[in-house]
A and B are shown apart, each in its own frame.
Chain A
Amino acid sequence: MNNKTAIRLRKGAASNPAQVVEVDARGLEPPQPLVKILETLAALPAGAELRACTDRRPMHLYAQLEERGFAAATEEQSDGSFITHIRRL
């Protein structure tokens, strides 16, 4: 597992033109995942989606997203990690 935060830009398929920014916030001690995700969010291009990967369900993130005008949906992965899809409201 890559402990360093990796940020990759990926263009979506033609049927889903939204840009997806991925943040790997696994392997970080709280509250570093929260900080990394929100700092990435601050520079998120308009219309893009942020996909954040964390070791735990990011319970402290949701209220911060709501306050900043973002919606989130979290899915648990088979390896026990979580992916949170974040979009502007």
Chain B
Amino acid sequence: MKGSSTALPLLFTMTGLLALCTGVVWLVLQPSLLATYHYNQYVIAATHLFVLGWICSVVMGTMYQLVPVALETKLYSEKLASVQFVFHVAGFVGMVWSFRVWHMTQLAHFGSTFAVGVGLFVYNMARTLRRAPRWNITATAVTAALVWLSLAVTAGLSIAAAKCDYASALESSPPALVAALLHGFQAAGGFVAHFDPVSAMHAHAHLGGVGCFTMLIVGVSYKLIPMFTLGELQSRRRAAWSIALLNIGLAGSFVTILLRSPLKPAFALTVVAALAVYGREIAAILRARKRRALDWGIKYFLTAIVLMLPMSVLAVVLSWPGLPLSTFTGQLENLYGFLGLIGVITLAIMGMLYKIIPFLVWFARYSRQIGRTRVPALADLYSARLQALGYWAYLAGLAATSGAIVLSNETGVRIGAGCLALGVATLALNVGKMLAHFFKPALRPSALPASLTPKTA
């Protein structure tokens, strides 16, 4: 059985890291992105850089590696994944630029390009899931995440479609397929135009942030946390309930956010309940683990789970019917988005990257040498000191930026973003140390134990 390539996950991951670095530098240079209300072209552009450029890139790349392993099967098509990468990068770069200059027609073009990439990704993952010899909770979560991702992209395209004008394009008598697509966009845009644009944007954001990313964090961690802490899932029933409640809560949240319904808190609380059940299961896994020491990768990830607590409080507060629209509540919305994307999701991903990237590099560079020469351990590929520095810098950045957002203080946001940038820089430096092994491998002569040394007759 030919092994899956590590090059493609690494390519996606490096793209994601580049987007993350660009994003935090952008926050340092333009702190008004977070210190003022988020419904403007620059904030939307920066948000999509973080969501599509950073989070989506890393999530997709690592899923190409992790999902087949977790489901004990092979990726359906590496070629398709390579093609998707091209659409993905062209799509998200073009979208971020289009948002920034608020060019809706180009946004529709690049959004469609990105959507083609997502379609290829979803198809590839779906075919891989079909091959799985056995179904488990992770497979259920991945399937749900793919559905929500598809809906999030559809919603995003529809929101963009509502802002476009089709008259000139249709008057030019385009080919039948293009005309059909244009009519489709026009219809979708016409439908979305019935809803409040800010509510539509918030609903779209929840489909992606909660439906896709949070669902994956929950589902995949049920496999990875036991693996890395030498533990086991303690209660399949509890894990299943967390996924079920997350799906129900998100479906209800999407509709109630879109319709600005007074039932919003009910579904926000359902999502909170899902995360509470998830937290209980993770705590149970950790209590029963055999590996007592927790490395920094796991610490990053567990901190992300802890951050779900203030996020949950914010979610319930912001969902409350009749909440007055004010500068303060606007900033609370900024804080919610910031803590969700840059806090919970980014910290969780950073933690998992500290487990995944060393393995990808190590496997690509050293797996053929095992048993022939002495190969370094995974921990030898990076610096634990940099991890620790990065952890504290990033936490300080989250705290400082959060306070500054609430106070609408640009200087505070700049300082906080600077700390975030330092945290990200340590990750980038560590990744550089890992990648250096491709060029300067650390191989030493083999020293098998005497008991394994072949005895001559």
Contact = CB atoms under 8 A, between A and B. Distances in A.
A42 B371 contact: yes
Interface in B352-371: 359, 362-363, 367-368, 370-371
Contacts of B446: 42
Contacts of B375: 35
A66 interface: yes
Interface stretch (B257-265, B337-345, B449-457): B449-457
Contacts of A56: 227
Interface in B211-245: 227-228, 230
Contact of B362 (A27, A31, A42, A67): A31
B323 interface: no
B2 A63 contact: yes
A60 B367 contact: yes
B72 A45 contact: no
B453 A43 contact: yes
Contacts of B359: 30-31
B454 to A, nearest CB: 5
Contacts of A7: 451-452
A30 B223 CA distance: 13
Contacts of B291: 29
Contacts of B370: 34-35, 38-39, 42, 64
B1 A63 contact: yes
A38 B362 contact: no
Contacts of B290: 3, 27
B69 A38 contact: no
A24 to B, nearest CB: 14
Q: Indicate the size class of the contact surface on chain B.
A: 20 to 34
B83 interface: no
A34 B1 contact: no
B371 A29 contact: no
B178 interface: no
Contacts, number: 63
Nearest to B451: A7
B1 A64 contact: no
Interface in B151-185: none
A59 B375 CA distance: 20
Q: Indicate the size class of the contact surface on chain A.
A: 20 to 34
A59 B371 contact: no
A45 B68 contact: no
Contact of A59 (B68, B448, B453): B68
A85 B245 CA distance: 42
A15 to B, nearest CB: 24
A86 interface: no
A62 B227 CA distance: 19
Contacts of A45: 454
B3 interface: yes
Contact of A29 (B227, B448, B452, B453): B227
Contacts of B130: none
A29 B375 CA distance: 16
A60 B69 contact: yes
Nearest to A3: B290
A57 interface: yes
B298 to A, nearest CB: 11
A29 B377 CA distance: 11
A41 B371 contact: yes
A34 to B, nearest CB: 7
A40 B3 CA distance: 21
A66 B378 CA distance: 23
Contacts of B378: 31
A59 to B, nearest CB: 5
Contacts of B451: 7
B127 interface: no
Given A31-B359, A40-B452, A59 B72 contact: yes
B180 to A, nearest CB: 43
Contacts of A30: 227-228, 359
A7 B359 CA distance: 26
A66 B452 contact: no
Interface of B: 1-3, 68-69, 72, 227-228, 230, 290-291, 359, 362-363, 367-368, 370-372, 375, 378, 446, 448, 451-454
Minimum-distance CB pairs A-B, first 7: A63-B3, A42-B371, A38-B370, A43-B452, A62-B1, A38-B371, A57-B72
Given A28-B230, A30-B228, A39-B370, 12 more contacts: A7-B452, A31-B363, A34-B367, A38-B371, A39-B452, A41-B371, A42-B371, A42-B452, A45-B454, A59-B68, A59-B72, A64-B3
17 contacts: A27-B230, A27-B290, A29-B291, A30-B359, A31-B362, A35-B375, A39-B452, A40-B371, A42-B372, A45-B454, A56-B227, A60-B69, A60-B363, A63-B1, A63-B2, A64-B367, A66-B1
